[in-house]
Amino acid sequence: MTLGLTFELAVFGSFIALLIVMGFLLYYFAVDYKRNLLGEVSSALPKKESNTVLSRMKRELSFSAFMMDDSKSIGIRYLITSLVLFFIAGLAGIGMRISLWFPVPSFLTPVQYNILLTAHGTLMLYGWATGSILGMAYYLLPSSVKLKNDSFGVVSSIMYWMFLVGSLFIIFSKSTATWYFYYPLVDQLTAIGGGQYSFATLIGVMLILIATTVSSVIFLRMIFFDRDPSIRLSNMSLFAWSVVSTAFLIIASAPVSIIANGFLIYDNINPIFFQAGNGSALGYAIMFWYWGHPLVYVAVIPAFGLIYEMLPRFTGTKIYSYKSGVLSLLMLMILSGTVWGHHLFNSGLGTVWDLIFSTTSFIVAVPSAISVFNWIATMWVGRVKLTVPMMFIINGIIDFIIGGVSGVMLADVGANQLIHGTYAVTSHFHFIFLGLTTGVAFAAIYVLFPTLSGGRNYNVPMAKVHFYLSTIGTIVMSGFWLVGGFAGMPRRVAGYFGIFQTYQDAAAVGGVILGIGFLIFLINFLYSAYKPVETNTSNILEEEVTS
């Protein structure tokens, strides 16, 4: 590693640090000033109570959220940030797709491809999936548990800034070590290794993980101690239950990854922890996937919760079975902590372990299926109103079934030897991430649109175009990946054998369609936000708390 710590650098560094500290001081003065400006509602009250009042109000999208630290404002901060990160990572993904049009690396060199690959994977998972979930939880929990005491403003705010700085570290590091910090590549700080600043990605991910873990503790506190007495656990909203499940999962597994990343950073200075020399290179992989698999469930369980909340409103019935919904969410929490070994089938854990992890992976399909059948039953007994969010939900369920089934196929030890490291894996999780995580997040954004925009309706035809383009894009891209993957098309390469060109080109078309779809979302947002106020700001996800 480059430890060129000269005197000038130290002086320069201290100067920057001083500026940051002063900036933060100014920031907190501004925050206080802003709070006083809110006048009637809040300035007369002590901060804690004014935050509670604020977090129960309906809130519009506004940059002043960055100056306030009640739960709803924090939620808006995360939603804005994660959306920006989604578009950054999405553009990187589309860039990769287009470059793969020709078998020989064309528009991107291998190093550039690997930078985009790492940035895409890391930002999508830690920035978009995790960030949007934190945002939804901060934004929706106060109304779904009728929060009676919003007391963690400062901590939440600091955690948000750590999240943001972490994302910036990831962007600036230009690491090429892939989203799971491929060892020992990640510690070779050269352009031909993990990238000169690949340790900065590690630091960034650590910051995000700390923010996520602390926020999870705050969510549990909100749900179990600060909810209104009128809400009993047995009738709490299923979204709140999904946050419980996610938060426990994060608290139980993220610290392991934080520690492992700390070891890796130390390895840059003195390589002693994860070395081929002492046989523990696999140790990092194990510690990573101990968190890595729960992470992918962290990205879907809150989406489950949002489906459980929105589905009944669009079918006009209650959810078919509340109890089995809770059961499924809690089972997902427990079981998805036990399957991480399925990412290491080919890494020499031993046949017995492989079979154990294969079995647990088959079992984890059960709670997922419980939820899916619950939704199908709800749609069956109710009358489906095909609004845009509902279309996203239905498509999310279908994509989840496709992705889930291919996941179970991947979990077969024998089959895994053939398709591990091919695009079949990439296809498996893009079906779920694009269809379920992203689709349902956008469904929720559409549902919240009247509230966030202060009483405007989104343009429905454009939203439908967004829906059709993004679903067709997903199915074309991931579908051809799946077929190509079973034919042996390797993933994570900047070029490929000519025989795979059909699949790659079709997938590139799918990727471009997807990109146009999300661009239309942006345009629709801009267009609709300037329409005259035409509706009231209520939505089905949050009720204004009046008690």
Partner 1 sequence: MNKATPIALFLVVLLAAGGSFVWFVEQPSSTSNYSATYNSTKEIVLYANAIGWNYNSSNPNPTLYEKTHVLLEFKVIEQDNLPHTLTVNPGTNESTSNDVFNVNIPAVTGTIVWLNWSFANPGTYTYWCEVHPTTMVGRLVINASSSNGTNASAVPTMQPQSPSLVSYSNSIYQPVSSRDANDEVW
Binding mask 52-81 for partner 1 (x = CB under 8 A): --------xxxx----------------x-
Binding mask 177-196 for Cu ion (x = CB under 5 A): --------------------
Q: CA distances (Å), 97 to each of 92, 122, 430, 466, in order?
A: 9, 17, 13, 20
Binding mask 257-296 for Cu ion (x = CB under 5 A): ------------------------------------x---
Binding mask 103-122 for ligand HEM (x = CB under 6 A): --------------x--xx-
* One residue of 232, 352, 383, 526 binding partner 1 per CB under 8 A: 526
Straight-line distance from the first to the last Cα atom of the chain, in angstroms, rounded to the nearest whole number? 58
Q: Which does 256 bind (CB under 5 to 8 A by kind): partner 1, Cu ion, ligand HEM, none?
A: none
> Is residue 365 part of the contact set for ligand HEM (CB under 6 A)?
yes
Q: Which does 178 bind (CB under 5 to 8 A by kind): ligand HEM, partner 1, Cu ion, none?
A: ligand HEM
Q: Which does 395 bind (CB under 5 to 8 A by kind): ligand HEM, partner 1, Cu ion, none?
A: none
Rounded Cα–Cα distance for residues 547 and 545 (Å) = 6
Rounded Cα–Cα distance for residues 112 and 165 (Å) = 23
DSSP code string of 71-120: HHHHHHHHHHHHHHHHHHHHHHHHHHHHHTTSSS--SS-HHHHHHHHHHH
> Is residue 97 part of the contact set for ligand HEM (CB under 6 A)?
yes
> Is residue 433 part of the contact set for ligand HEM (CB under 6 A)?
yes
Q: Which distant-in-sequence residues (6+ apart) come within 8 Å of 270 by Cβ? A: none
* One residue of 68, 88, 94, 475 binding ligand HEM per CB under 6 A: 94
Residue with smaller CB distance to Cu ion, 100 or 335: 335
Residue with smaller CB distance to ligand HEM, 105 or 283: 105
> Is residue 522 part of the contact set for partner 1 (CB under 8 A)?
yes
Q: Which distant-in-sequence residues (6+ apart) come within 8 Å of 139 by Cβ? A: 71, 72, 75, 76, 78, 79, 448, 542
Q: Which does 7 bind (CB under 5 to 8 A by kind): partner 1, ligand HEM, Cu ion, none?
A: none
* One residue of 46, 277, 414, 532 binding partner 1 per CB under 8 A: 277
Rounded Cα–Cα distance for residues 507 and 101 (Å) = 9
Rounded Cα–Cα distance for residues 355 and 339 (Å) = 11
Interaction with partner 1 in 165-184: which residues (CB under 8 A)?
171-172, 174, 184
- Retrieve residue 377's tokens: 């039953």
Q: To the nearest whole angstrom, how small is the minimum distance from the Cβ of residue 133 to partner 1?
A: 20
Buried b / exposed e over 54-63, threshold 16 CB at 10 Å, is bbbebbebee
Q: Which distant-in-sequence residues (6+ apart) come within 8 Å of 124 by Cβ? A: 86, 89, 90, 93, 433
Rounded Cα–Cα distance for residues 253 and 256 (Å) = 6
- Retrieve residue 460's tokens: 């429905």
> Is residue 126 part of the contact set for ligand HEM (CB under 6 A)?
no
Report the residue closest to Cu ion, judged by CB.
293
Residue with smaller CB distance to partner 1, 114 or 216: 114
Rounded Cα–Cα distance for residues 467 and 427 (Å) = 20
Residue with smaller CB distance to ligand HEM, 302 or 404: 404
- Retrieve residue 250's tokens: 């994060």
Rounded Cα–Cα distance for residues 228 and 546 (Å) = 12
Token pair 């979990």 is at which residue?
411
> Is residue 38 part of the contact set for ligand HEM (CB under 6 A)?
no
- What number of chain residues touch ligand HEM (CB under 6 A)? 45
> Is residue 496 part of the contact set for ligand HEM (CB under 6 A)?
no
Residue with smaller CB distance to Cu ion, 227 or 430: 430
Interaction with ligand HEM in 228-267: which residues (CB under 6 A)?
none
* One residue of 54, 67, 74, 83 binding partner 1 per CB under 8 A: 83
One-letter amino acid of 492: R
- Whether 76 contacts 157, CB under 8 Å: no
Q: How far is CA 461 from the centre of its chain?
A: 28
Rounded Cα–Cα distance for residues 355 and 34 (Å) = 58
> Which segment (1-9, 91-99, 240-248, 267-275) binds ligand HEM by CB under 6 A?
91-99
One-letter amino acid of 170: I
Residues lying near ligand HEM in the complex (CB under 6 A) are found at 90, 93-94, 96-97, 117, 120-121, 124-125, 128-129, 178-179, 296-297, 299-300, 342-343, 361, 364-365, 368, 404, 407-408, 410-411, 416, 420, 425-426, 428-430, 432-434, 437-438, 491-492, 511, 514
Residues lying near Cu ion in the complex (CB under 5 A) are found at 293
Residues lying near partner 1 in the complex (CB under 8 A) are found at 1-4, 60-63, 80, 83-84, 87-88, 90-92, 95, 108-112, 115-116, 119, 171-172, 174, 184, 187-193, 268-272, 275-278, 452-454, 522, 525-526, 529-530
